[in-house]
Amino acid sequence: MTAREAALPFHDVRGRGFSRRSPLTDGWEWIDNRVVAPAARVLPLADCAGLRLADAITAVGDWPPADRAALDGYAVAAADTLGAGSYNPVPLTAAVAVSVGDALPPGCDAVIPYEAAQAVGPFIEAIDAVAPGSGVERRAAWAAGGSPLLPAGRRLRPADLGLLASGGHHSVPVLPAPRVRILLAGGAKAGAPEQLGAMLAALVGRDGGVVGAVGNLPANLDALAEAYVLPGADLILSAGRTGTGPDDVAPPALARAGSLDLHGIAMRPGGSAGLGRAGGTPVLLLPGEPMAALAAYELLAGRAVRRAAGLPADLPHATVQAVTARKLVSEIGCLDLHRVRMDEEGRLEPVASPGWPGLAAAARADGFVLIGADSEGVPDGAPITMYSFTKYRFA
Ligand SMILES: Nc1nc2c(c(=O)[nH]1)N[C@H]1C(S)=C(S)[C@@H](COP(=O)(O)OP(=O)(O)OC[C@H]3O[C@@H](n4cnc5c(N)ncnc54)[C@H](O)[C@@H]3O)O[C@H]1N2
Ligand code: MOO
């Protein structure tokens, strides 16, 4: 070990291994204490799609502001069409041609569509009777002035933007999406294809973050340390080179750039994950092994992204209550993530053991189950919660 490395204020695991790993809950606590929701900003509606509303929004005025036509046709007093039929056309002396959205003229309470009327020379006749209110969109049918339009925390859908405009809003207070920088540290080895950039970017997007370019960096301590302190990100995810080999330079690079606060989490896969800060920005270190990277994102980094986006911090996966089809063995002292598939009887089959690498088993799985550090496993037929890989609690 060189003198400079001896001075680094962190436990270097390279060539030594982890002497202990922290419980996952310590990682969650670190995230909850250091990653906060962004301050609300008032943005024009055009910039708000997909963002969360910071406050509840009420309608400024009634919408529609007056009774108006919901059909193209003739505005009439419904009573004037009484008894009309195709064999008994009734002349409409006070009919006014209207188009959808036109205010209803005074004295009218219905719109008779063109299909239920006929023009005879300059005169209009009803060939069907209409009831009062028929073909009319009433004043305040969508929203009465002062009534709630959308709740605080709502992730704005495209249609919400139109609704907000109808309620008299041109801009609304939203939580801006956190800018997440993804750095691939070292990349795949032995000619393997790059597998993490697209996967991690999709996960960040799911959790409310915005990813700029995905950066490829060499497994070089100086280059990584420099990249960690570059400004412009609210959160940094660095994937790769977190283990115990001589080329695993991500943890010492973060220690040099700022602080490596936790390295080694008692979970499998993903146990070489780490957490720290550079230039005040939280940095999450994910293993490079693709399944370990997925697990460390789901169980650790995703929580940071969701908090930074103002979303609920808990796992976003929809849960399914099921029973095990087989015994699941687990290591005491380590939280184990088992990829599982649901069989025809609704029982959960393990697809691969927690330490089995690669994403093929994750792709074949319907979801995952977690077996806590205090458990040696569960017998077959045991009730258990599956976290779905395909359904989420928020859209
Ligand atoms: N003696 C010990 N050895 C290891 C331990 C341990 O506790 N004691 N931990 C193991 C664990 S856990 C993991 S995880 C790995 C360390 O993983 P790293 O984060 O260091 O991963 P890399 O060295 O970067 O690469 C490992 C593996 O992943 C592939 N990889 C990396 N980046 C990418 C990418 N962008 N796309 C696709 N694949 C990537 C790389 O090709 C390697 O196959 O250490 C164990 N060792
Ligand atoms: O970080 Mo390692 O891949 O424990 O699973």
pLDDT at 282: 98
pLDDT tens, position by position, 271-283:
999 999 999 999 9
User: What architecture (CATH level 2) is domain 68-137?
Assistant: Beta Complex (2.170)
pLDDT at 212: 87
CA-angle at 87, arms to 86 and 90, nearest 5°:
75
For the CA of 289, the nearest ligand = 1
CA of 334 to the centre of ligand 2 (A): 12
pLDDT tens, position by position, 12-66:
999 999 999 999 999 999 999 999 988 999 999 999 998 999 999 999 999 999 9
Is pLDDT at 7 greater than 70 in this prediction? no
Going by C-alpha positions, the residue among 106, 100, 166 that lies closest to residue 135 is: 100
pLDDT tens, position by position, 305-345:
999 998 899 999 999 999 999 999 999 999 999 999 999 99
pLDDT at 3: 39
CA of 240 to the centre of ligand 1 (A): 7
CA of 297 to the centre of ligand 1 (A): 15
For the CA of 272, the nearest ligand = 2
pLDDT at 37: 86
Q: In terms of DSSP bridges, do strands 68-69 and 136-137 run parallel, antiparallel, or are they unpaired? A: antiparallel
- What is the SS3 assignment for the chain? CCHHHHHCCCCCCCCCCCCCCECHHHHHHHHHHHCCCCCCEEEEHHHCCCCEECCCEECCCCECCCCEECCCEEEECHHHHCCCECCECEECCCCEEECCCCECCCCCCEEEEHHHEEEECCEEEECCCCCCCCCEECCCCCECCCCEEECCCCECCHHHHHHHHHCCCCEEEEECCCEEEEEEECCCCCCCCCCCHHHHHHHHHHCCCEEEEEEEECCCHHHHHHHHHCCCCCEEEEECCCCCCCCCCHHHHHHHHEEEEEECECEECCCCCEEEEECCEEEEEECCCHHHHHHHHHHHHHHHHHHHHCCCCCCCEEEEEEEECCCEECCCCCEEEEEEEECCCCEEEEEECCCCCCCHHHHHCCEEEEECCCCCEECCCCEEEEEEEEEECCC
Mean pLDDT on 111-127: 95
Q: In terms of DSSP bridges, do strands 235-239 and 179-185 run parallel, antiparallel, or are they unpaired? A: parallel
Percentage of the chain with pLDDT > 70? 97
Query: End-to-end distance of the chain based on CA atoms, in angstroms?
Result: 49
Is pLDDT at 2 greater than 50 in this prediction? no
pLDDT at 1: 40
Tell whether ligand 2 has an atom less than 6 A from the beta carbon of residue 264. no
Q: Which of 289, 300, 335 gets mutated to test ligand 2 (max ligand atoms within 8 A of its CB)?
A: 289
Mean pLDDT on 104-126: 95
Q: Which residue's CA lies nearest to atom 1 of ligand 2?
A: 270
How many CB atoms are closer than 10 A to CB 347? 17
Query: CATH: 1.10.10.10, 2.40.340.10, 3.30.1490.20, 1.10.3080.10. Which one for 317-392?
Result: 2.40.340.10
Q: Whole-number mean pLDDT of the chain?
A: 94
Percentage of the chain with pLDDT > 90? 91
Tell whether ligand 1 has an atom less than 6 A from the beta carbon of residue 243. yes
Mean pLDDT on 72-89: 96
The token pair that represents 137 in the structure block: 């969109």
pLDDT at 10: 78
pLDDT tens, position by position, 147-184:
999 999 899 999 999 999 988 999 999 999 999 999 99
**Rounded-to-integer distance, Cα 381 and Cα 322, Å:** 9
Index of the ligand 1 atom closest to the CA of residue 189:
41
CATH topology of domain 3-38+176-309: Molybdenum Cofactor Biosythetic Enzyme; Chain A (3.40.980)
Enter the ipTM: 0.95
Amino acid (1-letter code) at residue 122: P
CA of 254 to the centre of ligand 2 (A): 18
**Rounded-to-integer distance, Cα 37 and Cα 152, Å:** 14
Is pLDDT at 8 greater than 50 in this prediction? no
CA of 274 to the centre of ligand 2 (A): 11
**CATH number corresponding to 41-63+141-175:** 3.90.105.10
CA of 395 to the centre of ligand 2 (A): 29
Tell whether ligand 1 has an atom less than 6 A from the beta carbon of residue 292. yes
The token pair that represents 85 in the structure block: 């039929």
Tell whether ligand 2 has an atom less than 6 A from the beta carbon of residue 290. no
Is pLDDT at 5 greater than 80 in this prediction? no
Tell whether ligand 2 has an atom less than 6 A from the beta carbon of residue 195. no
Q: List the domain boundaries for the chain.
A: 3-38+176-309, 41-63+141-175, 68-137, 317-392
pLDDT band for position 4 (cuts 50, 70, 90): very low
Q: What are phi and psi of 184, to 5 degrees?
A: -100, 110
CA of 247 to the centre of ligand 1 (A): 10
Going by C-alpha positions, the residue among 317, 319, 330 that lies closest to residue 385 is: 319
pLDDT tens, position by position, 204-245:
999 999 998 899 999 999 999 999 999 999 999 999 999 999
Tell whether ligand 1 has an atom less than 6 A from the beta carbon of residue 244. yes
Is pLDDT at 198 greater than 90 in this prediction? yes
